[in-house]
Amino acid sequence: MTRGVRMVMLGRQGAGKGTQCVRLSRHYVVPHISTGDMLRAAVREGTDLGLKAAELMAAGELVPDDVMIGIVEERLDSDDTTQRGYILDGFPRTVDQADALAKITSSRPLDAVIDLDVAKETVLERLAGRRVCGDCAANYSVDKPPRYGWVCDNCGGDVVQREDDTPAAIEQRLADYESKTAPLIAWYDERGLLEVVDGYGATDEVTERLLTAIDQRRS
Ligand SMILES: [Zn+2]
């Protein structure tokens, strides 16, 4: 079996991170840990954490660092992650979180931190063109619409633009990402962990580039 990997995936929203994380997770046989998905699941299931997170998000506030760190620490303490590794997606977001992660992983340090690089103008265009099925959440875009009108190929639901995908909201999210992530990227670069990978091209090409970069890091 392929060796596992312990890595963090960074990149702007719309850079193709989600797709690539799923592919890398299959290749290395490690879990793809998306903190966004974990939070949404907790909210859906109504766990203590979910209730707290839902309350904060409803008030327009971010889930505080100590809560996020606690969630990640617990997840990284599971059998699958301690034995084979993980792909962390959505965490860390700040230098404080990165510092906490370094402490959590001190006995099994990260192999690599990947910055999947796609220019801001490109992701803006991609996100603005994004459309989603309101019923089954299947993804489409203005370039790849459903076969018949804006009706979902899978379930016949209405395919729409997400409310938070307006140009102004997208700009705001990207600006937030920029201001928070720039110091984080510098922090990992100083520690020799950062690998910038070009996110342009066909999905397969990008996956190949990622595998090459990660395998070099581990050798
Ligand atoms: Zn659908």
What is the pLDDT at residue 17?
Answer: 92
> What confidence tier does 92 reach under pLDDT thresholds 50, 70, 90?
very high
What is the pLDDT at residue 113?
Answer: 97
> What confidence tier does 99 reach under pLDDT thresholds 50, 70, 90?
very high
CA of 177 to the centre of ligand 1 (A): 30
Cβ(113)–Cβ(17) under 8 Å? no
CA of 214 to the centre of ligand 1 (A): 35
Catalytic residues: 17, 93, 130, 162, 173
CA of 135 to the centre of ligand 1 (A): 5
pLDDT, one tens digit per residue, over 116-162 is 999 999 999 988 999 999 999 898 999 999 999 999 999 999 999 98
Higher-pLDDT residue of 81 and 56 is 81
What is the pLDDT at residue 157?
Answer: 96
Which long-range contacts (C-beta less than 8 Å, at least 24 apart) are formed by 118-124? 118/11, 118/12, 118/14, 118/15, 118/16, 118/199, 118/200, 120/12, 120/174, 120/178, 122/14, 122/200, 123/12, 123/13, 123/14, 123/15, 123/174, 124/14, 124/167, 124/170, 124/171, 124/174
pLDDT, one tens digit per residue, over 26-69 is 999 999 999 988 888 888 898 888 888 888 878 878 788 888 89
Distance of CA 8 to the CA centre of its chain: 9
